[in-house]
Amino acid sequence: MKPTLLILCTGNSCRSHLAEGLLRLALGSSYHVASAGSKPAGYVHPLAIKVMAEIGIDISSHHSKHMDEFLNQDVETVITVCGNADQACPLFPGQLNRHHWPFDDPAHATGTEDEQLAVFRRVRDEIRRVFEAYATGRLDERGR
């Protein structure tokens, strides 16, 4: 059975989906990677979809979901990417690990679309560095 890694954010519209897409690609098929929110926005931000497509990752089929959907599932690792989700995070069945790696919320970016895209790209790249390093460690401990 594949370990489940759950990435939590408040709205589950940007950061958690960026992280989910990046981590899923970095880990391959040996893990189940999902994301959810404590107060789901009900959509995935279009600019998050756009900046992920720029690096060849399609998250257009992702949807915003509530973390309660995972309360009856074994979740080995929970990773929160914002402070509100970290505070609202329950203990999930089977949970062995919890990490908190906060990132700026690109959904709050203002200005022109190009200026907003610059913020989305910066946050995507910050998330990429952290989650790819984490994935490398997980794969190394499993012996790839």
Positions annotated as catalytic residues are 9, 82, 89
- The Cα 78–Cα 80 span in angstroms is 7
Q: Is residue 84 classed exposed, middle or buried when 0-12, 13-18 and 19+ CB atoms within 10 A define those classes?
A: middle
